[in-house]
Amino acid sequence: MHPLDALTEIAYLLERERSSRYKSKAFRTAAAAIEGLDDAALRDPALQRRPGIGASTFAVIQQALAGEVPERLATLREEAGLTAGGELRGRLRGDLHSHSEWSDGLTPIETMVDAARRLGHDYLALTDHSPRLTVANGLSPERLRAQMEVVRGLSSDGFTLLTGIEVDILDDGGLDQEDELLHALDVVVASVHSKLRMERGPMTRRLVAAAQDPRVDVLGHVTGRLVEGSRGTRPPSEFDARAVFAACAASGVAVEINSRPERQDPPDDLLAIALEEGCLFSIDSDAHAPGQLSLLDYGAARAEAAGVPAERIVTTWDLPRLREWLTRER
């Protein structure tokens, strides 16, 4: 394989396993440093003195040039379990929840697009955060308008990048962005990021209001729980799941099956309730780096185990059917 592809895939897999951003960045920096170099330059020991190339990345380059799968790459492929996800994973056409460096993602929009194309996606929604989430560099209305112009120029050759937002659900169930902008976006994912321990009654009303809001398409990581990972654990929010999911079903709002292993949201018991209430679902990566787009494997495996029918998963739909749903009467 070409050393450039080896370095890029290592960065991708490090991002997928949610490794330190500095580790993945080192391999992406090395890939950028060797772009356009011929084999002679790549074999030259002086390459190690080039900015961005270190001992480990140089070793990957030499192993790839020798016709081998670099050791670091082989290990990461094995650890990633790249065949995960089952039959349902092969039916997914895209992803409606992702982030870029415009908010709290790690890379430019273009890099996320390249990764989505490599995975065979037909579409990807860019859903950076809304203004109130300042810790995640949430987008003001002015920044969101500027981003929408960028996004509209990045669809081509059978791939579509959809405009979108992960908008905060405010304490009263309102949404943290201008009404005009929310109507103009292709995809609106609504999520709770604050006061997750709100009492059951008010939290139920908060989520039902969001599910009934005509601007909302997807209810994101509905319980807000964390079950593993560097941020520690966090219990799920408490609410009347039947009331919330009944509101989603009545409004045609999809319940997100969040694919991040630290979330596994909604939990299995709530996923079963959402099925019983007749909800649609969206299997999403919630990716903050290119390699995390393939976390869809985990979401697909959970959905398959829970018996979620593929036809009720909006991310198995082709783009025309998806757009028809996104523009439905509310």
- pLDDT tens digit sequence for 136-189: 999 999 999 999 999 999 999 899 999 999 999 999 999 999 999 999 999 999
Compute the Cα dihedral for 49, 50, 51, 54 and give only its sign: negative
**Helices 3-16, 71-80: crossing angle, 10 deg rounding:** 40
- Predicted confidence at residue 85, as pLDDT, reads 57
Cis-peptide, bond into residue 266, ω within 30° of zero: yes
- Predicted confidence at residue 122, as pLDDT, reads 98
The CA distance from 73 to 7, in Å, is 8
Strand order in the sheet with 187-191: 94-95, 123-126, 160-168, 187-191, 218-219, 254-258, 280-284
- pLDDT tens digit sequence for 95-129: 999 999 999 998 999 999 999 998 999 999 999 99
- Predicted confidence at residue 323, as pLDDT, reads 98
- pLDDT tens digit sequence for 188-205: 999 999 999 999 999 999
Of the chain, the percentage scoring pLDDT greater than 70 comes to: 98
Lowest mean pLDDT among 79-88, 204-213, 246-255, 277-286: 79-88
Residues 6 or more apart in contact with residue 163 via CB below 8 angstroms: 125, 126, 147, 148, 151, 152, 184, 185, 186, 187
Exposure of 168 in the CB half-sphere (CA atoms within 13 A): 21
pLDDT tier, 20 (very low <50, low <70, confident <90, very high otherwise): confident
The overall average pLDDT reported for the chain is 94
- Predicted confidence at residue 231, as pLDDT, reads 81
The CA distance from 112 to 110, in Å, is 5
Residues 6 or more apart in contact with residue 153 via CB below 8 angstroms: none
DSSP SS3 for 173 = coil
Task: Tell me the Ramachandran region of residue 194: left when phi exceeds 0, alpha when psi lies from -120 to 50, beta otherwise.
Answer: beta
The CA distance from 282 to 39, in Å, is 44
Which long-range contacts (C-beta less than 8 Å, at least 24 apart) are formed by 177-186?
Answer: 177/130, 177/131, 177/141, 177/144, 178/141, 179/215, 181/141, 181/144, 181/145, 182/215, 183/215, 184/148, 185/148, 186/125, 186/162, 186/323, 186/326
Q: Read off the tokens for 151.
A: 């996004």
The CA distance from 135 to 269, in Å, is 31
- pLDDT tens digit sequence for 285-300: 999 999 899 899 989 9
- Predicted confidence at residue 84, as pLDDT, reads 53
What phi and psi, each to the nearest 5 degrees, are found at residue 58? Answer: -65, -40
